[in-house]
Amino acid sequence: MYENLLQHVSRRINLDKEEEKLFISLLQHQKLRKKQFLCKEGEVCKYSGYVLKGCLRTYELDEQGNEHVLQFSIEDWWVGDLYSFFTETPSRYYVDALEPTELALIDLASQELMYEKIPKFERYFRILIQNAFIASQRRVISAISKPAEERYLEFHQRYPTLEQRIPQHQIASYLGITPESLSRIRKQLSNRKY
Amino acid sequence: MYENLLQHVSRRINLDKEEEKLFISLLQHQKLRKKQFLCKEGEVCKYSGYVLKGCLRTYELDEQGNEHVLQFSIEDWWVGDLYSFFTETPSRYYVDALEPTELALIDLASQELMYEKIPKFERYFRILIQNAFIASQRRVISAISKPAEERYLEFHQRYPTLEQRIPQHQIASYLGITPESLSRIRKQLSNRKY
DNA sequence: TGTTTTTATTGATCTATATCAAGAGGTACG
DNA sequence: CGTACCTCTTGATATAGATCAATAAAAACA
């Protein structure tokens, strides 16, 4: 059931069988149907989740009620609001399922237990967060410096599989443009190709 | 000389005297004059730097030769291109000093030695990077969903001291707008106050 | 299978911000 | 001390992308 997750860990650090067992024992399995929430704004995000199957989105709702997608999470990614999770304060984000989804959840106490019992777990998460941070910084640069078409092309090239699975208007939201604009951009690009 | 840095570390993890000594022994002290570079695009970023004094900026240069500021780093922040540093690949960013600056540098081999000898160092950097990641995600949301004036106000409120030290056109670049626009936004705001 | 909901497209118009151009203080420096 | 060069401001105009509105196709659903 957790083969992928254990492999994901073992690509970064080496766990012996005992350690693997401890880790697994701390996980909870959860299924979400489409549109179900992993967590909501105003609630403490109690879990970090490893996506076993499916796809989720993390988004913020602004005062006018518009959704702004912070990220998509598919198989073999961790999902959750890190800030809310670690500080146990109310989250500013919603996380919901775009597809039927299965997760391996870990709560804060368990995560801290892991850090204590198996210090190299710090390394595992340090590496993951470091990569996420690097990617986030690149997205900042894109967002502040590049026109919509270029941002779309970057997304298209970096996440070709995501683009298949996810409705266009969600991608538009991730890119910071309206669905109408993305539709026009795609049209222009496909005209230009021929 | 490194009191602030040691305090910075000790607020996150506990080091004994021996460990502190090892850490300090791996640091190199560097001074930069205004406009000098810590690293440049195309070069491997050999060091992570802890800012002892001064202020730096990390920026990207686009094809048209425009600078886009990714971040400012003042006292008690770490600076450098994490991706280039850890992968030892050429950086896409420039890092230079906006003021006369002093840094405590650590190279990759030393950092890895620290991780090996004092595993809790993983924790120290995991916590720092986690906080940086959280902040970066918030900036993404701002950049893709909020108008320039609001982004400026957020910056103004979050980094009031930075705004004093840094030329306005650098802040404009950080916000993803032109210096002209920032000038007009500030004018409007100051008119509205009275 | 018919009905509702979601998703994508297209057109007309509007607006926030960019661009281009000029000038004016400040500050650094030869 | 004067000359260069940063830095900021202001005005005129241009434009990328938003908004509003309508339609239609596709998917979900009962």
- Calculate the angstrom distance between C1' of D21 and CA of A171: 23
pLDDT tier, B192 (very low <50, low <70, confident <90, very high otherwise):
confident
3-state helix, strand, coil split of chain B in percent (to 5) is 50, 25, 25
SS3 for chain A is CCHHHHHHHHCCCCCCHHHHHHHHHCCEEEEECCCCEEECCCCECCEEEEEEECEEEEEEECCCCCEEEEEEEECCCEECCHHHHHHCCECCCEEEECCCEEEEEEEHHHHHHHHHHCCHHHHHHHHHHHHHHHHHHHHHHHHHHCCHHHHHHHHHHHCHHHHHHCCHHHHHHHHCCCHHHHHHHHHHHHHHHC
pLDDT attached to residue B113: 96
pLDDT attached to residue B193: 59
A75-85 pLDDT, tens digit each? 999 999 999 99
- Of all protein residues, which has its CA closest to the C1' atom of D16? A147
Computed over every residue of chain B, the mean pLDDT equals 95
pLDDT attached to residue B191: 82
- Is there a contact between A101 and A59 (Cβ–Cβ < 8 Å)? no
A-chain CB neighbours of B133 within 8 Å are 82, 129, 132-133, 136
- A144, closest nucleotide (Cα–C1'): C17
Of A120, A130, A134, the CB nearest to B119: A120
* CA dihedral sign, ordered A103, A104, A110, A115: negative
pLDDT attached to residue A118: 93
Chain A nearest C-alpha distance from B117 (Å): 12
pLDDT attached to residue B32: 93
B33-55 pLDDT, tens digit each? 999 999 999 999 999 999 999 99
A25-54 pLDDT, tens digit each? 999 999 999 999 999 999 999 999 999 999
A107-162 pLDDT, tens digit each? 999 999 999 999 999 999 999 999 999 999 999 999 999 999 999 999 999 999 99
A-chain CB neighbours of B145 within 8 Å are 60, 62, 66, 68, 176
Q: Which residue of B has its CA nearest to A125?
A: B126
Residue A193 has pLDDT above 60, yes or no: no
pLDDT attached to residue B194: 60
Nucleotides in chain C near protein beta carbons (<7 Å): 6-12, 16-21
A-chain CB neighbours of B140 within 8 Å are 70, 136, 139-140, 143
B86-138 pLDDT, tens digit each? 999 999 999 999 999 999 999 999 999 999 999 999 999 999 999 999 999 99
Percentage of chain B surpassing pLDDT 70? 99
* CA dihedral sign, ordered B61, B65, B66, B72: positive
pLDDT tier, B173 (very low <50, low <70, confident <90, very high otherwise):
very high
